[in-house]
Amino acid sequence: MKAQSTAEMVGSRPSSRISNASSTPETSQSPNPALELCGLSKSFTLGGGLFKRGRTLGAVNDVSLRIPRGQVMGLVGESGCGKSTLAKMLLGLTSPTEGDVLVDGEPLRGADQKALARHIQPIFQDPYSSLNPRKRIAQIVGLPLRVHGIGTAREQATRVAETLDVVGLPRRAAEQFPGQLSGGQRQRVAIARALIMRPDIVICDEPTSALDVSVQAQILNLLLDLKTEFGLTYLFISHDLAVVEHLVDRVAVMYLGRIVEEGSREQIFSAPRHPYTQALLDSALTPEPGLGVPDIGLGDAMPDPSNPPSGCAFHPRCPKAQAICQQTRPRLEEFRGGNARVACHLA
Amino acid sequence: MSRLEVNNLLEVNNLLEVNNLRVDLPVEAGTLHAVRGIDFHVERGEMLCLVGESGCGKSMTSLALMGLLPRKARLTADRLQFDGIDLTTLPERRRSDLRGARMSMIFQEPMTALNPAYTLGNQLCEGLIRHRGVSRREARDRALYLLERVGISAAKDRLEQYPHQLSGGLRQRVMIAMALMCEPDLIIADEPTTALDVTIQAQILRLLRELQQEFGTAVIFITHDLGVVARIADRVAVMYAGEMIESAPTPALYANPAHPYTRGLLSCIPAPGKTPPGSRLQAIPGVVPSLVGSVEGCAFRNRCPQAQPACERTPPLMSLPGDHRARCHYADRPVPAPLQPEMSS
């Protein structure tokens, strides 16, 4: 029985997708977006004790997003804005307090961790801490196959070798330990581990920010190639706006747990509507000598998420804030025929 | 003739003069040549950016200047002069009189650079009391003044706070205030904004540049971010594999990079408006060579798209017009037509 189901699993996800690059990616077959978040929220309780109620910290509040198949959604925002909590919920590492995650139209709530891992895989920021230093590369990359009981040991070894080829690692890397590889090579290992389950969606959490610039370009090229080759959908979390502009189709901007603006790359980068998006774009320092460092006119750092400001959470730092911004929280309104959204009274 | 060129001809009055600086570290497999004979100078009141990737020797260079190298490291230099003082022969006692007083340092991670067990006030005042022998009250007044200058509100209360009570951006502001306490001639800032958010980074860089110009402090700013360099540097020095492979005034370096490595670095960051979104970026193939044991010839030749047989020999530091130097046999030749980036399949 077990052997049968294993064979079925291997059969149901044909390996042709890795060995035969020309097979058509599963685009435009399903009307559903690859990934959809509906009113996703996550709150934590801080402090508190036996007789004392703790404070509530809303890390992610009512986030709704649709990522069409084969597209790249960029997610930007400062540290503490909830990007990583959002990523953790998508990976099933923490469960949402409210809302649903839909993969290809199917809600993931109640779905077990294993089922989730077949669809969504992560690539983390730091390839130094995300790989077990005591395991060989072949073991690290092959672990998902063993966990899911896919194929025989021999088939698993073949799949590992194929995947190492796909990410541009030499075959001999299979027998090495992470400590013997450079940062760029380690990130390739992390990408191989994410791809070996042939996921539909990859969550890239700052995948190049721990790498040197010359290596960063290699990894970004690889991510773009893999996307085309396997028809992948990416959620690309980054603080590097030049990289985001290069890679993504759409961008969502988060501030203090909420999406404040979302739109196509062109719309966000050429006509941002939210003052926070504008400030983020201004503070991206492009390599153009003579321009100096702009005065972006933002006040102090992020406010305390456990005690968010009234009204629009951005108003204490906003150079354009009016009286209404202190009183009422702006709703995320659609514009451009529903193709873009912004939450600002003044936009 | 620019001020830079005049200074160069006369070779007068440079705050820092470095010739043939070498730093060797004993490691298990032999000797790691972390810094391999670099020459550079820092003028009074200028912002010099040291650029390079991890392992290129930029942090070792800064630690060598501060006299903070690991105990096992061996430093040699033909000349290492700070305002006429020979740092290679200076006894440690005199050295620590300079450190904090005339040259100070801002580190990448303010949380590990600040002592968690002392209040900010204590840490800010300590240097001034030690070096200038002022009273606690005077030191406190100076600390208050500088905290306000670096844009920290409620400065009085902050003096009583501990580092963990501040956000990353505020901590880095405190580090800048601390570096300025004794009005040093030179500040070495080692990736001071790398750990910060972009909006905070812009504010900190702007502040550092403003104060540097106002107080006439020379700054060696170490970074790997060519966007930051373009916006703040007066001059740029690029390091690769323990060598300084190119140095130039900022506009010249970006307009006419003379070393293939500098050209590679500049072309592998996506430039809005120039790089079509989704196109392949030009990457530098290969990896940095190991600096353990001897390195022969040009260290970049294995990754260089223009390498020739002559690159087996160590290239000279070639002088180009306008205070521009590059360590490449072909630095004075016209740049070959840019290789067409391969198109995405």
Read off the tokens for B306. Answer: 């223009």
CA angle B103, B107, B108 (to 5 degrees): 155
**Selected residue of A71, A126, A185, A212 to mutate for chain B interface (largest B Cβ count, 10 A):** A212
Distance CA B70, CA B55 (A): 16
Q: Compute the distance between CA of residue A110 and CA of residue A302 in angstroms, rounded to an integer.
A: 34
Whose CA is closest to B283, among A114, A161, A208, A266? A208
Cβ contact B280–A224 (<8 Å): yes
Which of A254, A249, A253 is CA-nearest to residue A233? A249
Cα separation, A171 vs B53, in Å, equals 27
Contact A228 B344 (CB under 8 A): yes
Q: What is this structure's pTM?
A: 0.85
Say if the Cβ atoms of B203 and A294 lie within 8 Å.
no
Among candidates B206, B270, B285 on the partner chain, residue whose Cβ is nearest the Cβ of A242: B270
Give the model's pLDDT for residue B208: 92
Question: What is the tally of structural domains in chain A?
Answer: 1
Chain A residues within an 8 Å CB radius of B198:
78, 239, 241, 280, 283-284
* Contact across the interface for A282 and B202, Cβ inside 8 Å: yes
Does A337 map to a domain? yes
Q: Write out the residue range of the structural domain in which residue A279 sits.
A: 270-286+293-347
How far is Cα B259 from Cα B301, in angstroms, rounded to an integer?
A: 11
Interchain contact, A279 vs B170, CB within 8 Å:
no
The CA distance from B92 to A23, in Å, is 68
Q: For residues B170 and B210, what is the distance between their CA atoms, to the nearest angstrom?
A: 17
Position A178 in a domain = no
The first and second tokens of residue A84, run together, are 């990583």
Total CB pairs under 8 A between chain A and B: 140
Res. A30 pLDDT band, cuts 50 70 90: low
pLDDT of residue B325: 96
Among B203, B235, B290, most A C-beta atoms within 10 A, so best to mutate, is B203
> Is B230 close to A241, i.e. CB distance below 8 A?
no
At residue B261, the pLDDT reads: 95
The DSSP H or E segment spanning A166 is helix A153-166
Whether residues A301 and B167 touch (CB distance < 8 A) is answered with: yes
- Using the Cβ of B264 and the Cβ atoms of chain A, whether some distance falls under 8 Å is answered with yes
**Residue B231 and residue A241: Cβ atoms within 8 Å?**
no
Structure-model confidence comparison of residues B105 and A12, the more confident one: B105
Q: A339 in a domain, yes or no?
A: yes
pLDDT per residue as tens digits for the range A162-201: 999 999 999 899 999 999 888 889 999 999 999 999 999 9
User: Which of A64, A35, A6, A85 lies closest to A200 in space, CA to CA?
Assistant: A35
Which chain B residues in 29-68 lie under 8 Å from chain A, judged by CB atoms? 53-54
pLDDT of res. A14: 40
**A346 in any annotated domain:** yes
Q: By the CB < 8 Å criterion, does B266 face chain A?
A: yes
State residue A1's pLDDT score: 40
Establish if A345 belongs to a structural domain. yes
| Nearest residue on chain A to B289, alpha-carbon basis | A182
Q: Among the listed ranges A108-112, A268-272, B126-130, B182-186, which one has the minimum average pLDDT value?
A: A108-112
Query: Do B203 and A298 count as a contact with CB atoms less than 8 A apart?
Result: yes
Tell me if chain A has a CB within 8 Å of the CB of B309.
no
pLDDT tens track, chain B, 345 positions = 555 555 455 455 799 999 999 999 999 889 999 999 999 999 999 999 999 988 899 999 999 999 999 999 999 999 999 999 999 999 999 999 999 899 999 988 888 889 999 999 999 999 999 999 999 999 999 999 999 888 888 889 999 999 998 888 889 889 999 999 999 999 999 999 887 888 888 988 999 999 999 999 999 999 999 999 999 999 999 999 999 999 999 999 999 999 999 999 998 888 877 888 888 888 888 878 888 888 889 999 999 999 999 999 999 999 999 999 999 999 988 877 654 444 333
Residue B168 confidence (pLDDT): 82
A243 neighbors A208 (Cβ within 8 angstroms): yes
pLDDT tens figures, A64-100:
999 999 999 999 998 888 998 999 999 888 889 999 8
Q: Which residues of B touch A282 (CB under 8 A)?
A: 202
Assess if residue A118 is contained within a domain.
no
Residues facing residue B82 across a β-bridge: B16, B85
Q: Is the residue at A35 inside a domain?
A: no
The verdict on residue A321 lying in a domain is yes
Maximal CA-CA distance, chain A: 70
Q: Which residues of chain A does B343 touch, with a Cβ-Cβ cutoff of 8 Å? A: none
Residue B48 burial by Cβ neighbours in a 10 Å radius (0-12, 13-18, 19+): buried
- Cβ–Cβ of B225/A285 closer than 8 Å? yes
What confidence score (pLDDT) does residue B335 get? 78
In the predicted model, is pLDDT for residue A121 greater than 70?
yes
Residues from chain B contacting residue A213 (CB–CB below 8 Å): 53, 224, 226, 265, 268-269
One-letter amino acid at B252 equals A
